[in-house]
Structure 1
């Protein structure tokens, strides 16, 4: 997929937000080596919760919130240390998962709040995929690949009618992108 994007003319990706799909980080880094990779916090939390008994979930979530809602990376690291001390013996799988993914889970701390809000989750993309599944799940066979592409295209056109809201604080975000990625952001595209 990354090579296909490159072949279609994508020259650079500033930030890639991804779920826990294995091998995807390596694929992005190979095709676009300067890309910052942010792992979806929501996916990480969902993955963590499947190991926790219901009666402990609220308490564990509250402790995790201190990590991912921290204002700085230092605060997040401190909160994660406290989280490990409290939950490490009872839920070592969760702690290990957060430790193994720490760099990709905390990439968003480099940016101001407005950009963090855009990149910490892949829920927007998942919503779009849900709309595509809605139109493709009723029919299991298509006469040609082109027929499927047409249905997806028409579903995208229909879904895009609802995309009327602009990104909150976009002007501030684009200014911040220009600061963080000054040598990679084309000024004509940014406007």
Structure 2
């Protein structure tokens, strides 16, 4: 993963392509599907490099999302059957309310990221206070 991180955390698309080739040289014999997947989907993946570094870091850092999903799984794991879809939705809603009560931390660079997102996604963020 450390070698793959050099690809997606690269400062430019050109550097990322170079790192992807280095990844291939080192790991392709053991994990050929990883390089093939990245190479075959590079046109889609590389659009990510049009954003500034702070926004890219926000995109590839999934710890908050993974933690939230883990907490939702913990709540639903104990119940294997729900009487209805509504009961599941209600349980997830209540769990979400409990989980978000504990969210007190803020990203230090959120002001900069928000400004950049407003530039790239002006039409989506118009009138929203994030």
Query: What TM-score, normalized to structure 1?
Result: 0.58
Q: Deviations over 1:140-186 (max 9, x none)?
A: 2233332222211111111011111223322211211222234x244
Matches of 2:125 and 2:95, distance apart in 1? 31
Q: 1:190 to 1:151 in 2, by over 3 A?
A: closer
Q: Are 1:130 and 2:67 counterparts?
A: no
**Structure with more relative contact order (C-alpha pairs < 8 Å, separation 6 or more):** 1
Which residue in 1 is equivalent to 2:110?
170
Which one of 16, 27, 34 corresponds to residue 76 of structure 1? 16
Matches of 2:77 and 2:30, distance apart in 1? 41
Work out whether residues 67 and 77 of structure 1, in 8 Å CA contact, stay in contact via their aligned partners in 2.
yes
Matches of 1:137 and 1:89, distance apart in 2? 38
Q: Which has the higher strand share?
A: 1
Work out whether residues 128 and 159 of structure 1, in 8 Å CA contact, stay in contact via their aligned partners in 2.
yes
Q: 1:67 to 1:145 in 2, by over 3 A?
A: closer
Root-mean-square deviation (CA, aligned residues, Å) is 2.3
Q: Are 1:65 and 2:5 counterparts?
A: yes
Which one of 86, 111, 120 corresponds to residue 146 of structure 1? 86
Aligned length: 130
Gaps of 5+ in 1: 1-60
Gaps of 5+ in 2: none
Work out whether residues 12 and 49 of structure 2, in 8 Å CA contact, stay in contact via their aligned partners in 1.
yes
Matches of 2:40 and 2:32, distance apart in 1? 12
